[in-house]
Structures are given as C-alpha cells and as structure tokens.
Amino acid sequence: MARRQKPASGKDYPQNFTENIVDIDVTSEMEGSFLEYAYSVIYSRALPDARDGLKPVQRRILFMMTDMGLRPDRGHVKSARVVGEVMGKLHPHGDAAIYDAMVRMAQDFSLRIPLIDGHGNFGSLDDGPAAPRYTEARLAAPALALTDHLDEDVVDFVPNYDNQLMQPEVLPAAFPNLLVNGSAGIAVGMATNMAPHNLGEVVAAARHLIQHPDATLDEIMEFVPGPDLPGGGRIVGLAGIRDAYATGRGSFKTRAKVEIEQLNARRTGLVVTELPYMVGPEKVIEKIKDAVTSKKLAGISDVVDLTDRTHGLRLVIELKNGFNPKAVLAQLYRYTPLEDSFGINNVALVQGQPRTLGLLELLQVYVDHRLSVVRRRTAYRLGRKKDRLHLVEGLLVAIVDIDEVIQIIRSSDEASAARERLMSIYDLTEIQANYILELRLRQLTKFSRIELEKEQEELRRDIAVLEEILGSDTRLRRLVSDELGEMAALHATPRRTVLLESEAVDPAGAAALAGGSGTSASAGKAAKAVLPLEIPDDPCWVILSASGQLARTMTQDPFADGGQRVRHDVFTSVVPSSARGEIGAVTSAGRMLRLQVMDMPVLPATAGVPNLTGGVPVKEFLTLAKGESLVSLVPLNTVLAVGTTQGVVKRVTPDYPLNREDWEIITLKDKDTVVGAAAATEEDDLVFLTAQAQLLRFPATAVRPQGRTAGGMAGIRLAGGDSVIFFGPVSPADEAAVVVTIASGSESLPGLSAGSAKVTALAEYPVKGRATGGVRAHRFLKGEDLLSLAWAGHGPAKAAADNGASRALPTEHGRRDGSGVPLSQTVDAIGPSLS
C-alpha cells in the first residue's frame, strides 16, 4: 500500500490548509457499503419486476428501441447502435451487459416468445453471438404489446441516471411476460429462476382470474398445468410443479424427446429431436463420449449430429447390436444432460420489495397492474376527449356568428384585447378563445360546421363509453380480459413441452399435452420395470417372405390365426432360433451364408400373423452374385435336404466351417440351380413337384447324408423339357399335409392367364422309389400345359395374388389326378397357413 508522503516544509501547504483525519469503524463502513451494493444489485440489475417481467436493462432496451422507431415493419439496425443509445441515455454500465441482455431477448431457445427480431448470428446453445457490430436488430411484434400506449400516461416515468431524460418505471405489458418468458438472475443473498410458460394457457388463466377474483390454485392449474419450454422436450414429475405453483419454490426434471428408429437394416439408433431447456447438442455429445470412455455407458457405437436449419435438431445415437434401446436410453438419462433438473424459484419485485410468489400471486400482481394500466389509459383518453369537446363547442359558438367574431378580432388592437372581448361577449373560456384566434380561414366554411357537429356527437358518445368503463369495475375487467384474448389470438402458439405424471412412464413414449387449449392430458401411471441392458437370448422365429422381406418375431406361433395381411405376406421360410443365434441362408447357386439373428429387425408384437411390412429386403443382409437368389432360410445344426431344378437330391451333414461366412453345400452341374432346401429328419418324406405336374414322394432314408462338397444323387427322373419347381420335406404323420398346385398356359402372356388351383391331401400320393418319374398331380384344363406354382406341406395353405390381394384356395381336397378349380386372378406366391 502506498504511503502518503509529507512535504519537506510547511511552506508547500496552501495557506488555508487544515488537516482533518476522521477515524471510522471499518465494520460499519463495510456493512453500509455492502447494503448499498446489495440494494443496487437487487433493484437495478438481477431481479425482474413482477408486473412486466423485465429487469431494468431489458426494460430500457425495449423502451429505447421503441423510441428509436425500430418497429417490426421497419428495417434492422446495427446492434451496436442500440447498445450505444441505451448505454449513453439510460443504462450507464458496460456495453457487454447490455448486449448480452439484448441477445437473450432475441434467442428463440431462451425465451418462449422472443421480444427482439435479430438478424445475424445471435448465438446458439453451444456458441456465443457475434459482436454487436456484426448483428442487426429490431423489435419483434410481441414487444410492441409490452410498450404500447406509453404516451397515454399509463405508467409513471422516472428520471434517468443524470436527470436529463425520463424513462418508464414499468412497461404497460399487454401480456404476462414474466410467466410466459420466465427469468433468471443472481442477486446478493437471493436468486430467481422462473420457467417459461405457454402464452395461450397463461392468458386463459389470467382471464379466468379477472372474471373470478376468488379463484383457487386448482382452478388456475386447470389452465396452466405446467411450464412450456422453448425447446420442447418432456417434463417428468408434476409434484414439484405443484409445489412451485403453491409456494414459489419447487423442481422438476426435463428430458429430451428421443425416438427409437431403425437406422438401417442392421443398426438401431436413438434419435434426439428435442433437448432439455438450455442444453445444447455439443454438451450432450461430450458427456456421452466421456461416459462411454469411463465405461459408465455401454452399447453405444457412435453419436452423429445431423442438425440443420431445414430439419432442426437431430442427434443420432447409434447402438451396438444386442443392446436393449430402452435400457440404453435409461442409462443416457442417468449419466448425460438428456435428463436435467430445473429448480423453480419465483423471486420478483412487488412494490419495490423482493418476494417469492406462487402462480396465483404472480397472476394477481399482473392482473392488478393491467387493470391499473387500462384505468389510467381510459382516464387519459377521457380527459383528451373532454378537452377536444370543449374546443369543438367553443368553435361551434363562434361559427354561428362568424362575421361578428371577425369584426371583433379586426377591431381589436392586440390579441389579448380580442381574447377578452370574445370571452365576455360569447361567454367563452380562455382556452376556447385562444383556439378561435388560432383558426385558419379554411376552417370557417359551411362544411366545417357540419363536420364539427358530427365530431361533437362522436365525442359525446366516446366520453359516455369511457365514463362507463371508469364507473364500472365489471366493465373495466371485461375490457382487460378482451384485450388479453386478442393478444392470445395474435401471438399464442401450440404447446411444445409434454408433461409426464411421473418417472414410471415409459421414456420412449408418452401421451402429449394438447397445446393452446388450456386443458391438461398427462400420461397415465405405469409400473416401473427394470430393463436388462443387453437383449436376452430369448426364443424367436426368423421369417422370409415371398417378396424377399427378412425379419424376426418374438411371437410364440408365427402361424397363429388373425392379424392383418398385406402384400406378399406369404412365408417361404420360418426357422426357429434365438435372439443371439445364427441361421443359414441357402442360395440358388448352392451356397450357404451365415446370418446373425440379432442383426434382423424385430416385427411389432401384434396379435396373430406378423405384418412383414416391418421387415427389410434380403439384399441388405446378403451379397448375391448376378442371377443368384435366396432360396430359403435353414438352421445350422441339423441335416438339410436340398433339391435342384434338374431333379438332384442331397442330404447335407451339418459340418459347416466356423471361421467362414459362406460356403458351398452342393456341387451343381452346369445350368443347375437349387430350388429348395430345408431341415429334414429320417422320418420325413421328400417331395418333388415338376412343371409338367409330376409329383414324386420317397422316404428321406433313401438318401444317405453327404459332405457339403458332394454333388448329390438322382432324386426324380424328368421327362424332356421338364424341370423341378418345388422340393421340400413333409412329415407323413401329418394328417393335415396337403399339396397345392396352380396351373397356367405357357403361351399366355404373364398375368393374363386365369389358371386353376388344386389342393390335394398328401396321403393321396403313394410313396415311390427314388430316381423314378412319380405320379400325375394335376390334370390340365383347356389352355393349360404347365404348373406355374406348387407347394407341399402342413395345410391349409394361403396364396397371394400378383396384386397383393389374398387368394382363397379350394377347401375341398380333390383327387390327385383331377383338375383344379379355375382362378379369377393370377397367383404369384404360395405359403403356409396365413390370415
């Protein structure tokens, strides 16, 4: 600390200098100084006024922008200009504080109803705004409602910091800005943190309170069930909101809006489209990566931010296979800002004193303020109307005898004498006489008198209405309520935030609250279940449809009756497996490819037959050569029976390589292809069906199992030009086993041949020896010469037409050598029992 040096001699002091050192108590001085500082922070910086919901700097910004004429229909001006005007005239503090307050009022993610229309980079949840010399601003339309009628003596004005200018003590505030936009600030020894709400809901509550001054909190909460955050999201737990509305203090949890989506054929993800209040995507990504690195989170492979201006927020969290998406989401809520806590502390200034207010008190303070504003505005307008009526009445008196008035004025030596003579002759007041003296000659025409009489009548009617408003509290309240309704109609928007009753609600799906109606519809309570993080290895069915759709279902019986059927929902393969198991896919080229069941999409758990519209094309899982197609799905742990179009049959032993993803299961001859492959036991019969309607049935024991590189053996002897169109195992003990054949003409154009269908019990066909020609399965009608489709297995069967419609097949079993029943439409697929 620097010392005060005394001069070397007394002559250096002034002649009249007298040293006066005052000893003070440091404790008292610090207490007094701190109280002054605390008072300044509380009243002039950190806390909003409960009437207009604005802090002093915000109020001064809006007032100065209004004074500058920066209306929504005018052009933007540089933000630096606004900051300079506010700082130089009303707010003698740093420009950074003013600009920060201005930026916040322009951010649609900070305020539910932004008050400033910003042009340029006004920041984001993760980044700050550009400098004020780069951005531009003007008032937003709702801000005009806060400053409207300031020139009608609706509020008191106070001097600025140097007593040269006047500024409003509070703004008229045509809507409850404090509840709608909320507020946050830290003062000395106290703080405020108020949540935003929906304008339509708050206005509806205010109007109800105006009409029913003795309304209870429960009645008000029917209109305002909870906050409505600018970024949407979900609020979990309404008990804290109820406490905050009752006492002014409470807390609730906010959650992001997350949906589980199938990103591609093999990958599931969590897509975040809404975040908690004031939480940015970069912060979420950083916390997720930290939690994955510290091994608090498992099952996440990548996080991608796809946010853009067109689609808005889209944060994609890719999951690893085998993890339960809902369980991973629960972990994300626990360890990342996807779930955040908001503490409500409704501290605001009421009559210059900081108070903690509940919802009912906040609305009551605003309603009282608005009643005062409208009453003062009405009184001001009444006074102006009466003053104008006074002038009009005096003018009408003068116009009646205008020639005499002119003569009096011309004969007077000066204006004061003319004024005195007019007042004495026509019994006018000084104001009326002065107004007559200031008249222009063009106002003395005949039409001016008619207009003055009309204006007089209008003024008298307006005065009567204004006096009625001032004389009736009911009429005044109705006027305030109607004006609030107009504000809601202009600026209210639908609710964005969903309210959930408690944490027990499924985080991935909840009932939304109807926005803007003033009524709540919260999600019902549900039992909270602990979800396993990894998907258990539960039994499932893997299904392949005739259209090449692949999926798995957790239903116990995929062939159950019921359910809605869609195009091509004919099953060509149904393989039992488990969620973490593997199956094989046999192709027409004699190859088998290994498939992971976990990679396949799960069909919705619906009653009856699974709807395969939830499946994905096979090409998303398999890489097939040109001309190669998928024949069937098979288990990997059983003996398979394979048949080819040239009549070759083979039983393959399951000695498949463990270190390869694909291998051959049969060596095919030139131009031969696999037509069918399925698991077969030694008790099964193997069935061939050819295009020329030949059927051969023989025991599976007639074919010895071979290694995967063998070429098989003769299965059915084919006539010239014939080929196999179906091969598969059928249990002879199955009394419901049937053979379905559909005939058509080879000369007909595709889709034009009506054809015929026949369903025959498998027992009608005798067992023959392997490598024989079999028996006749279908007698062709006129115009038919081949089978277009054939199938054998457990019945009854269903078919899908080429237009996707379900085709009814004959219900009566016919003789094996008989003809079929004519069809009205071509069929392009046959499969097991379906509905």
**How would you class 659 by CB atoms within 10 Å of its CB: exposed for 0-12, middle for 13-18, buried for 19 or more?**
exposed
CB 812 within 8 A of CB 729: no
CB 653 within 8 A of CB 708: yes
CB 640 within 8 A of CB 678: yes
CB 304 within 8 A of CB 316: yes
Give dist(CA 301, CA 289) in Å, integer: 10
Q: Parallel, antiparallel, or unpaired: how do β-strands 648-652 and 705-706 relate?
A: parallel
Cα torsion 32, 34, 36, 38 to 10°: value is -150
**How would you class 657 by CB atoms within 10 Å of its CB: exposed for 0-12, middle for 13-18, buried for 19 or more?**
exposed
Q: Positive or negative, the Cα torsion across 644, 647, 648, 652?
A: positive
Q: Parallel, antiparallel, or unpaired: how do β-strands 234-236 and 498-500 relate?
A: parallel
* 3-state secondary structure at position 140: coil
CB 146 within 8 A of CB 177: yes
Q: In this structure, how many other beta carbons lie within 10 angstroms of the beta carbon of residue 350?
A: 16
Q: Parallel, antiparallel, or unpaired: how do β-strands 549-553 and 571-578 relate?
A: unpaired
DSSP 684-732: PEEEEEETTSEEEEEEGGGS-EE-TT---EE-BPPPTT--EEEEEEE-T
CA distances from 728 to 83, 529, 675 (A): 83, 45, 9
**CA 783, chain centre distance (Å):** 60
- Which stretches does DSSP call E strand in 299-371? 300-305, 315-319, 339-345, 347-350, 353-356
Residue 604 backbone dihedrals phi, psi, to 5 degrees? -60, 145
Q: In this structure, how many other beta carbons lie within 10 angstroms of the beta carbon of residue 150?
A: 16
Opening angle at CA 369, ends 368 and 370, nearest 5: 90
Q: Positive or negative, the Cα torsion across 234, 238, 239, 242?
A: positive
- Structure-block tokens of residue 573: 């393969």
CB 419 within 8 A of CB 434: yes
Phi-psi region for residue 549, left (φ > 0), alpha (ψ -120 to 50) or beta?
beta
Q: Tokens 């001054």 appear where? A: 213
CB 328 within 8 A of CB 536: no
Active site residues: 134
CB 339 within 8 A of CB 333: yes
CB 516 within 8 A of CB 201: yes
3 state SS for 41-73: HHHHHHCCECCCCCCHHHHHHHHHHHHCCCCCC
H helices present in 10-129, as ranges: 26-41, 56-67, 79-89, 95-104
**How would you class 456 by CB atoms within 10 Å of its CB: exposed for 0-12, middle for 13-18, buried for 19 or more?**
middle
Task: Give 775's DSSP letter.
Answer: E
- Structure-block tokens of residue 311: 């689609």
